[in-house]
A and B are shown apart, each in its own frame.
Chain A
């Protein structure tokens, strides 16, 4: 079946360094991919999305890269801050219904 997964369950990064969170997906028919951030006790929060016909998209301090050849998605966070501590999920969706399939998540831990 369809699946969206992550390589690492936990990532520890020094404050101020850049973070790279990776994701593998299996459904080549997905129309877009999304990164969500979830802080403890809260619902997921949209960070950035990328259409399947793009390979890079930049937001504020974040960049998402899509490599369709190897079905790989990554989220780069520049100058990681304590407020970036959270679980990050990649997800994929289809235009026809916007139903999102989430992966298992990576916990980002910021070291002082």
Chain B
């Protein structure tokens, strides 16, 4: 257990429905990242926050995706009008800015299946 938690662990939804995932990072970590991972591939960067500010979004993050970190603590990732291509593992990670160690602590992920 890395100290990063994600909820839910699994989500099955029908195409066209909206889904929301939650990530609780390690409490003192000011950076929070979202990644998407498909089977057999490495995680792909989606977006990241420094405290409550969303600093960068990947072009993978279409208009149907939105992420928030309202109080600089937990974060949510929402996917609207889900498509079958959204099926993947969604990983959250956190880190502490300003250290010499480039370690991101990953949560267990939320596996999304769109039917």
Chain A partners chain B: yes
Residues of A within 8 A of B (CB): 4, 32, 34, 41-46, 49, 89, 91, 93, 97-105
Whether the pair B43, A44 counts as a contact (CB closer than 8 A) is yes
Using known A-B contacts A43-B93, A104-B41, determine if residue A97 contacts B55 with beta carbons closer than 8 Å.
yes
Let me know if B107 is at the binding interface, CB within 8 A. yes
Q: Is the CB of B42 within 8 A of A102?
A: yes
A99 touches B42 (CB 8 A): no
The distance from the CB of B9 to the nearest CB of chain A, in whole angstroms, is 9
Cβ-defined contact, A45 with B43, below 8 A: no
CB of A20 to closest CB in B, whole Å:
19
Q: Is B21 in contact with chain A by the CB < 8 A criterion?
A: no
**Cβ B106 vs Cβ A45 within 8 A:** yes
Decide yes or no: A104 and B102 within 8 Å by CB, A41-B108, A45-B2, A98-B95 being known contacts.
no
Known: A49-B101, A98-B97, A98-B102. A104 touches B108 (CB 8 A): no
Contact A100 B55, beta carbon cutoff 8 Å: no
Most chain B beta carbons < 10 A, residue from A45, A97, A101: A97
* B contact residues, total (Cβ < 8 Å): 27
Is B104 part of the contact surface with A, judged by Cβ < 8 Å?
yes
Complex contacts, A103 vs chain B, CB 8 Å: 42
Which of A34, A42, A99 counts the most B-chain CB atoms under 10 A from its CB? A99
Among B43, B44, B45, find the residue whose CB has the most chain A CB atoms closer than 10 A: B43
In the complex, how many angstroms separate the beta carbon of B77 from the nearest chain A beta carbon? 15
Shortest distance from the beta carbon of A29 to any chain B beta carbon, whole Å = 15
Q: Is the CB of B33 within 8 A of A99?
A: yes
Which residues of chain A have C-beta atoms less than 8 A from B33's C-beta? 99-100
Question: Which B21-74 residues have C-beta < 8 A from chain A?
Answer: 31, 33, 35, 40-45, 48, 55-56
